Chain A
Amino acid sequence: MADPRSNVDDPDSAVLAPVQVATDGPSDSPMANPTSAEPSVSAPVVPDAPDRPQAQIGDLVAGLYRLGEPIADTKAPDGPIEQKWTKRKFEAKLVNPANRRKLKVIIVGTGLAGASAAATLGEGGYHVTSFCYQDSPRRAHSIAAQGGINAAKNYQEDGDSVQRLFYDTVKGGDYRSRETNVYRLAEVSTNIIDQCVAQGVPFARDYGGLLDNRSFGGVQVSRTFYARGQTGQQLLIGAYQALERQVAAGTVTVHTRHEMLEVVVVDGKARGVIVRDMVTGEIETHLADAVVLASGGYGNVFFLSTNAMGCNVTASWRAHRKGAHFANPCYTQIHPTCIPVSGEHQSKLTLMSESLRNDGRIWVPKNREDCEKHPRDIPEDARDYYLERIYPAFGNLVPRDIASRQAKNVCDEGRGVGPKVGDFRRGVYLDFTEAIDRLGLAAVKSKYGNLFDMYARITGEDPYATPMRIYPAVHYTMGGLWVDYDLQSSIPGLFVTGEANFSDHGANRLGASALMQGLADGYFVLPNTIRDYLAAGPFENVESRPEVAEARADVQQRIKLLLEINGDRTVDSFHRELGHIMWEYCGMERSEEGLRKAVDLIRGLKAEFWRNVKVLGSGEELNQALERAGRVADFIELGELMCIDALHRRESCGGHFRTESQTEEGEALRHDDEYAYVAAWEWGGDDGDPVLHKEDLVYDFIELKQRSYK
């Protein structure tokens, strides 16, 4: 490792592939005029892709986006980084306990970020209303996280510290995250563990009864706390129980099976949300003094991902259209060890723990002709252990982004294994033969048994006898709504926490740091920063303001429109097609040409969607196709913005690999001189181009360096 202070250059640290796109064009204009009685279904909805000016290479701006004023975070106080958070907490205004119950906060989302915030604000005496689309807050997608949560406790006396966790996280993010936010994350990480243990989260313990740690993905310190392979589940149950305790206490009201479909903005401030009761179809207006979005990530824009089926961008996207900047949309993390696609019917991809790469060897046949053979019939000298060959120092433990991209490369060369899906076999072997010889079958079973069982259940193959097959899959999105140090978006009174915001992970997310961020935001950061905003309240009653009725009418109009199209194609067929475009052109590897093509394809898809989607049933009932249709419509617009963002960022960083920006050896090449900024996109209107605001990333405490794994 180049830098002795870092454990970042480790296999776990790499990752993402950014994806981003910009939207321009007329999106669904259905809401333009909420008062007009009869929406015309065919007319205004879609932009005409071919008529748009085509930008030339070298002239990215024309026809795709406009450049706006630079922006900056003005909330982080001056002074040494170690004192900023203490200072900010002290400076933030207080709210008298008697006034708190008069203040109303809406929180969309009950994952780690939302449930922890709702519970904490409820305990503080605020009046909280919370929403989730599942039937119980405990089912939020955070439940699926497996590996663990980082915290700088240094229980192992192996040299960990807040400073080191901070450093690792910034470096792991390939220097595209915001220093002040990341430092605070590392700082409060230790409190998270205390809080969770007190709630009864059953973390792994050693025989002395103390908490155990592991090093995640080969980092040099052991700072990852875990609860077998179900860390997210146990952390979420802790937060959920704290939330339900507040429900019983009457401080929090939870609305399950409710989907937020619009933000209410009055006088430039977020004052509420419009939601749909997913059982009765009723459209409800909920007003408050501040709104928090904790609605998770948007990886499902790719259709296939490790995310839950319901994960969506709607809450964020609706806020974006109302003025919240969307930052770094193209930054997507692709995880290398997932179970490959087995057929066109597939609805999701399953992650397998990265720990498998510690003992499994990754290979494909040297010759294409061997790809159909049984792996045991391919002799040793006809196998290409490509990671060990290209990266002898790190071998199979190279970072996630590198492992992912090389797997794609060998499959694109026609050397992939497993069933053909479309024209290609998309899989590589993860082989434990050598580990079984070396450690014995029993040892391998005790180490990885549950993962092997899971693999066997899903694929119907016995991984002890035949090597596993793996392939990269979309896993996490680092982009999200832009927030300042207070976690406030560019709409005053609209706060964004957890995976839905952009600030902490840069172009790449280290393992075990998303859970940390969700809980840091919800338990410790937001409750302190939002009070500074709320201290100016209670705010004027806005019930009778026209903006409220308009937001509601917009939602109703849009639903009506979706139901009236009555075309020929199912919602899922559009989602699948969008996913193919995104994965092909805005996935692990992006090129100027491919991204331009993607923008055109997505514009065409959008036009077709609004002309030809088929949604049966009515709005006044439980209607799952209608729910999905609204989400897919938003994903299409996001997809375009992701491609435009990816297009404008002509550098490779994190998992975002631009073919035009690589070293002679084919490795990712960052351009700090030109791109050390956050790209914060402003909605340009239904027929305008998105506006790019740059926030310069200033590294006062950490020196920028290139990553190298050779």
Chain B
Amino acid sequence: MNLTLRIWRQTAAATQGSFHTYQVDDISEDMSFLEMLDVLNERLTAKGEDPVAFDSDCREGICGTCGLMISGQAHGPEVTTTCQLHMRSFPDGDTITIEPWRADAFPVVKDLIVDRSAFDRIIQAGGYISVNTGAAPEAHSVPVPKAQADRAFDAATCISCGACVAACPNASGMLFMGAKVTHLAELPQGQPERAARVVKMVNQHDHEGFGGCTNIGECAGACPKEIPLDVISTLNHDLRKAMRHNPS
């Protein structure tokens, strides 16, 4: 296939970026989207032009490293990660616009790479269960009902890719945060810190410059792990409860 790519180029966080247009021919429809960019980069390098910087690692949809806005959609036209998107999803002769995630909390590092360390800081604020190594009770001493275990698992599958933020008109990180809060809130082990956790995480989220949730739902629509929108309800519920008991 032959394609026209409009790619956002930006040499560093502080510089101005702009779109550049590249023509790539002879692309196999079996390639993944990132392999197509690999091919573009090999060709650019051969011509002595700076290759396009983009992030990826596992290339099997689990590490959450990759992530691009593809013609206006987070991760592109399919509900999957960018590395699992294949060129057969595009018509021959297509023009594709490729941009980095756009959000104040995710500053551009170079070209298509953004800084998502705000997510790590939200976890640092309280997205864990406090248990020191060696202090754990026998695993079978606390049974977990299967329904709760399954919901905890579903929420825990978030890969921290940031597509929810990129898709949201408010650049809110509520789906990401709701997923973590729900994962831990469903488990008996997560109860002692439940109220404090949600308050600390939400404060950090706002501090990082993510927007508020106005229930638009674009996040869940773009999420490659199909994290359900109702994790945000769990988060709001926990937050209200925590504030009521401990208004500050």
Chain A interface (Cβ within 8 Å of chain B)? 116, 119-120, 123, 134-139, 141, 143-144, 153, 155, 191, 193-200, 202, 204-211, 227-228, 230, 233-234, 237, 240-242, 244-245, 247-248, 254, 256, 279, 308-310, 342-343, 345-348, 350-351, 457-460, 523-524, 527, 570, 572-573, 614, 616-617, 621-622, 624-625
Contacts and interface: CB of A to CB of B under 8 A. Distances in A.
A31 to B, nearest CB: 25
A141 B58 contact: yes
Nearest 9 A-B pairs (CB), nearest first? A209-B143, A241-B128, A198-B136, A202-B153, A194-B136, A197-B139, A120-B133, A248-B124, A308-B57
Interface string B29-73: 111101100110010011011110101111110111100000000
Interface stretch (B112-120, B168-176, B215-223): B112-120
B1 interface: no
Given A202-B156, A457-B80, A621-B12, A143 B58 contact: yes
Given A194-B136, A233-B157, A621-B11, 12 more contacts: A120-B132, A120-B133, A136-B119, A136-B120, A144-B63, A202-B187, A209-B146, A234-B156, A237-B156, A342-B28, A345-B28, A457-B86
B133 A279 contact: no
Contact of B35 (A120, A194, A345): A345
A123 B157 contact: no
A144 B62 contact: yes
Contact of B137 (A198, A207, A247): A198
Nearest to B28: A343
A197 B88 contact: no
A237 B140 CA distance: 21
A134 B62 CA distance: 14
A241 B58 contact: no
Contacts of B29: 460
A523 B32 CA distance: 37
B136 A200 contact: no
B140 A155 contact: yes
Contact of B64 (A139, A193, A346, A572): A139
A227 B155 CA distance: 13
A155 B140 CA distance: 9
Nearest to B38: A347
Query: Which of A138, A241, A242, A350 has the largest count of B CB atoms less than 10 A from its CB?
Result: A241
Contact of B116 (A135, A204, A254): A135
A600 B51 CA distance: 32
A368 B132 CA distance: 60
A406 B15 CA distance: 55
B127 A345 contact: no
B113 A244 contact: no
Contacts of B60: 144, 348, 350-351
A204 B51 CA distance: 44
A196 B131 CA distance: 10
Given A198-B137, A622-B109, A205 B146 contact: yes
Contacts of B124: 244-245, 247-248
Contact of B59 (A211, A279, A347): A347
B183 interface: yes
Nearest to A307: B58
Nearest to B144: A209
A200 B184 contact: yes
Contacts of A346: 35
Contacts of A139: 57-58, 63-65, 160
Contacts of B123: 240-241, 244
Contacts of A614: 45-46
A136 to B, nearest CB: 5
Contacts of B137: 194, 198
Given A308-B63, A624-B53, A199 B131 contact: yes
Interface residues on B, range: 35 or more
B82 interface: no
Contacts of A241: 123, 127-129
Query: Which of A198, A351, A459, A624 has the largest count of B CB atoms less than 10 A from its CB?
Result: A198
A233 B61 CA distance: 11
Contacts of B58: 139, 141, 143-144, 308-309
Given A197-B189, A248-B124, A210 B143 contact: yes
Contacts, number: 208
Given A123-B132, A136-B116, A194 B63 contact: no
Contact of B127 (A144, A233, A244, A458): A244
A215 B143 CA distance: 22
B149 interface: yes
B214 interface: no
A523 B149 contact: no
B248 interface: no
B35 A347 contact: yes
15 contacts: A137-B120, A144-B63, A193-B139, A195-B131, A197-B189, A198-B129, A206-B146, A209-B146, A230-B157, A241-B123, A308-B57, A342-B28, A616-B45, A621-B12, A622-B109
A460 B89 CA distance: 10
B136 A197 contact: yes
Contact of A199 (B63, B134, B189): B189
Interface of B: 11-12, 28-32, 34-35, 38-39, 42, 45-46, 48-51, 53, 55-60, 62-65, 80, 84, 86, 88, 109-110, 113, 115-117, 119-120, 123-125, 127-140, 142-146, 149, 152-153, 156-157, 159-160, 183-184, 187, 189-190
A271 to B, nearest CB: 26
Contacts of B35: 345-347
Contacts of B159: 233
A345 B31 contact: yes
A126 to B, nearest CB: 13
A248 to B, nearest CB: 4
Contacts of A621: 11-12, 110
A116 B60 CA distance: 24
A242 B124 CA distance: 9
A460 B51 contact: no
Contacts of B131: 195, 198-199, 242
Contacts of A207: 146
Nearest to B59: A348
Nearest to B142: A197
B42 A570 contact: yes
Nearest to B85: A457
B166 to A, nearest CB: 15
Contacts of A308: 57-59, 63
B57 A227 contact: no
Nearest to B114: A135
A244 B159 CA distance: 16
A402 B41 CA distance: 38
A308 B59 CA distance: 7
A237 B137 CA distance: 20
Nearest to A232: B62
Contacts of A460: 29-30, 86, 88
Contacts of B31: 343, 345
Nearest to A460: B88
Nearest to A522: B133
A619 B115 CA distance: 20
Contacts of A233: 62, 157, 159
Contacts of A624: 51, 53
Nearest to B128: A241
Given A139-B64, A194-B136, A199-B131, A343 B30 contact: yes
Contact of B117 (A135, A199, A459): A135
Nearest to A202: B153
A309 B57 contact: yes
A479 B68 CA distance: 36
B139 A153 contact: yes
Query: Which of A240, A247, A347, A572 has the largest count of B CB atoms less than 10 A from its CB?
Result: A347
A359 to B, nearest CB: 23
Contacts of A211: 139-140
A609 B145 CA distance: 58
A345 B59 CA distance: 14
B34 A347 contact: yes
